[in-house]
């Protein structure tokens, strides 16, 4: 059997990836299993089993190089827009940039020093750095002797677990408790600092700080406001709230700011929970038990004490304490799941067989149906260019809609699906037809890498050049957002994520399956690397946390989110969001994550060359 499998490398590769992706869907404590780690361990076990039986899996050297080049390009391409579109003031962004540079320098220095101090081999040291910083691209770099590939990958798998746990516990437990204790006002008790939910207290203080500041719309918010993500919030209505005594439809037209001007609505009220007979019941939308449907009739009047489930762009719906609203975090109120779609407007939503020419204008009818189905209009694509959602909607426009799926009284209703049928049909973003550009860039990267080696003696590697080309192309697209170039080079987030995930996991599976495996891997090097990875993770985290708070004077939410970002640990970000019942940590994560993704990979090249 093993002899037969050794001649079927594609079958073995598929098996490793299937196990990796299947087990990565299982939730463990604060997050999910990492597909790359499970893939490495599966491939390691299969390779060790086959080599113990005298068999080897022959995988062409070109395959892992191609997979890594695709993975590297997707990193750069995804990071390019993030470097330009970060949310926040220029001062906050500058602090994030400086903190990221400090973190990268400390991560490199601590891993190099610990590797030398502990006497680690080069393969173990590289695996320790990659695992401590949860950066898979480092372990994918060339430079480690072929006979030590197995050591590097196994060390990385173990250290990744240690590094992830260290990042989660530091950012979601230890750091918030210190921040609460440090920011405690004179005369207050120590109850806040000992809070069992420190992250919720940190976010509450963050909202208080925002309320004390005069809101000023920055230029970058005007430029990128039409593409800001849709968020959910739940608010309890108090007496001085603008919404009290108004119908749902009227409240949505006014918005939180009381602006009744023309244009896109800034929020959608998805549900209203109201106390009746001593318990809370759903007052809006109404539920038709016979047809198992939810009906969003906008005539429902909002009363004191009601809890509103609201969706909209983050800058329109957050921080509403001064508007007579109190944010609540109970899961029973946040009973919606968001989904987005690009919809080609091909018909008038009011049109029927009997009435093919409705009296209402197309723009008026579309916006009315959006509200009735709890959908938010993000932007409009017209003739290949994005325009503001406040523009007049015209036939054949592509509308980027974000809708909800509500689960109330046992009924799960996707409100976006019936709306799409009324407006036209969903269109794909063109990811499949435009992946040719990605392959062209990888081919160009291989050519540039070869020319640099021959003409200048510089061995950059195809993966490194692919990443730089992707970064440049992603940055250029963001600068040319309203031109034909933006749409001609579009790759959907789903397509980009698929290429990145498959590229990395195919690469590590190929490398692990073809690496020489020896029982000597299970020696003291693994234990030393695990200890080193814990220190290599905590040293830059602790120092940057202290510098960010005391020297850079960063806001608490921004500081914690930035540390997760530059450490490229999405599990830690998820722990912050879950622990705070808020999405406030998401926005500051983008810029440090892009810098960490790129910086740690490039530092990995330097680390391998100097260790």
Q: Is residue 446 part of a domain?
A: no
Tally of domains in the chain? 2
CATH of the domain at 250: 3.30.70.1450
Whether 11 is covered by a domain: the verdict is no
In a domain, 548, yes or no: yes
Query: Can you give the pLDDT at residue 434?
Result: 61
537 within some domain:
yes
User: Which has more confidence, 140 or 283?
Assistant: 283
Claim to verify: residue 234 and residue 347 sit in the same structural domain:
yes
Same domain, 281 and 419: yes
Residues 364, 279, single domain; the answer is yes
Same structural domain, 232 and 131:
no
Do residues 387 and 533 both lie within one domain?
no
Residues 250 and 130 in one domain: no
Closest by alpha carbon to 512, among 127, 162, 128? 127
pTM surpassing 0.95? no
Instruction: Give the CA-trace dihedral at 167, 171, 172, 173, to 10 degrees.
Output: 100
Structural domain includes residue 194: no
Identify whether 571 is part of a domain. Answer: yes
Within this chain, do residues 417 and 503 fall inside the same structural domain, yes or no? Answer: no
> What is the per-residue burial (b if ≥16 Cβ within 10 Å, else e) of 511-526?
bbbbbebeeebeeebb
Final residue before a domain boundary, out of 426, 461, 482? 426
Average pLDDT over residues 277-304: 71
Q: Rounded to the nearest 10 degrees, what angle do helices 90-117 and 524-546 cross at?
A: 150
From CA 308, how far away is CA 150, in angstroms rounded? 54
Question: Which of 390, 405, 426 is the last residue in one of the domains?
Answer: 426
User: Do 231 and 340 share a structural domain?
Assistant: yes
d(CA 110, CA 338): 41
Clarify whether residues 420 and 558 are in a common domain: no
What would the 3-class secondary structure string for 29-48 be?
A: CCEECCHHHHHHHHHHHHHH
Sequence-ordered list of residues with C-beta below 8 angstroms from that of 37, at least 6 positions apart, any chain: 157, 160, 161
Q: In this predicted structure, what is the pLDDT of residue 587? A: 65
**Of the residues 406, 426, 446, the one at which a domain ends:** 426
Full residue range of the structural domain in which residue 78 is found: 62-178+473-610
One domain, residues 261 and 406: yes
User: Residues 131, 236: one domain?
Assistant: no
Same structural domain for residues 161 and 300?
Answer: no
Any domain includes 206: no
In terms of pLDDT, which residue wins out, 89 or 56? Answer: 56
Confidence of residue 430 (pLDDT cuts 50, 70, 90): very low
Convert the pLDDT of each residue in 179-193 to its tens digit: 877 766 544 444 444
Q: Is residue 214 part of a domain?
A: no
Task: Report the pLDDT value the prediction gives residue 431, as an integer from 0 to 100.
Answer: 42
pLDDT tens digits, one per residue of 391-423: 888 887 888 888 777 765 555 677 788 888 888
């Amino acid at each position: 059997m093993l002899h037969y499998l050794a001649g079927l490398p594609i079958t073995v590769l598929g098996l490793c990836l299937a196990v990796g992706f299947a087990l990565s869907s299982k939730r463990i404590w604060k997050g999910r299993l990492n597909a790359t780690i499970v893939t490495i361990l599966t491939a390691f076990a299969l390779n060790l089993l086959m080599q113990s039986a005298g068999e080897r899996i022959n995988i062409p050297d070109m395959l892992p190089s191609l997979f890594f080049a695709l993975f590297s390009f997707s990193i750069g391409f995804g990071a390019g827009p993030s470097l330009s579109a970060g949310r926040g003031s220029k001062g906050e962004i500058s602090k994030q940039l400086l903190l990221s540079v400090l973190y990268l320098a400390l991560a490199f220095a601590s891993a190099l020093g610990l590797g030398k101090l502990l006497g680690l081999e080069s393969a173990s040291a590289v695996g320790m750095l990659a695992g401590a910083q949860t950066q898979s691209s480092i372990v994918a770099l060339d430079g480690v002797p072929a006979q030590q590939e197995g050591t590097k990958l196994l060390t990385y798998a173990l250290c990744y677990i240690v590094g992830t746990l260290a990042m989660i516990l530091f950012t979601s437990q230890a750091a918030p408790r210190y921040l609460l204790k440090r920011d405690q006002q004179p005369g207050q008790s120590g109850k806040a600092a000992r809070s069992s939910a420190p992250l919720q207290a940190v976010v509450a203080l963050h909202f208080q700080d925002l309320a004390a500041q005069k809101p000023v719309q920055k230029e970058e918010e005007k430029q990128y406001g039409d593409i800001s993500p849709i968020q959910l919030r739940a608010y309890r209505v108090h007496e001085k709230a603008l919404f009290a005594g108004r119908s749902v439809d009227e409240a949505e037209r006014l918005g939180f700011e009381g602006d009744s001007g023309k244009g896109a609505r800034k929020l959608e009220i998805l549900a209203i929970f109201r106390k009746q007979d001593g318990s809370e019941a759903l007052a809006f939308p109404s539920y038709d038990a016979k047809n198992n449907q939810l009906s969003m009739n906008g005539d429902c009047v909002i009363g004191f004490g009601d809890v509103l489930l609201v969706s909209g762009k983050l800058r329109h719906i957050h921080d509403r304490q001064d508007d007579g609203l109190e944010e609540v975090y109970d899961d029973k109120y946040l009973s919606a799941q968001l989904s987005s779609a690009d919809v080609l407007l091909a018909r008038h939503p009011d049109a029927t067989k009997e009435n093919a020419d409705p009296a209402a204008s197309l723009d008026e009818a579309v916006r009315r149906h959006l509200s009735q189905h709890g959908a938010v209009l993000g932007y409009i694509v017209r003739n290949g260019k994005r325009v503001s959602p406040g523009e007049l909607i015209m036939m054949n426009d592509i509308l980027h809609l974000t809708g909800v799926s509500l689960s109330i009284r046992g009924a799960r209703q996707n409100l976006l699906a019936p709306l799409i049928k009324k407006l036209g049909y969903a269109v794909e973003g063109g990811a499949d037809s435009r992946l040719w550009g990605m392959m062209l860039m990888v081919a160009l990267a291989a050519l540039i890498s070869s020319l640099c080696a021959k003409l200048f003696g510089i061995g950059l590697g195809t993966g490194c050049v692919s990443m730089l080309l992707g970064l440049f192309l992603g940055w250029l697209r963001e600068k040319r957002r309203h031109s034909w170039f933006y749409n001609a080079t579009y790759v959907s987030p789903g397509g980009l994520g698929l290429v990145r995930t498959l590229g990395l996991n195919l690469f590590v599976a190929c490398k692990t399956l073809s690496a020489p495996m020896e029982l000597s891997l299970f020696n003291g090097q693994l234990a030393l690397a695990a200890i080193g990875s814990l220190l290599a993770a905590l040293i830059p985290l602790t120092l940057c946390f202290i510098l960010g708070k005391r020297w850079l004077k960063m806001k608490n939410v921004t500081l914690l989110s930035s540390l997760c970002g530059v450490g490229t640990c999405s599990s830690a970000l998820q722990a912050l969001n879950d622990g705070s019942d808020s999405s406030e940590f998401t926005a500051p994560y983008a810029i440090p994550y892009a810098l960490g993704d790129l910086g740690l990979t490039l530092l990995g090249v330097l680390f391998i060359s100097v260790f």
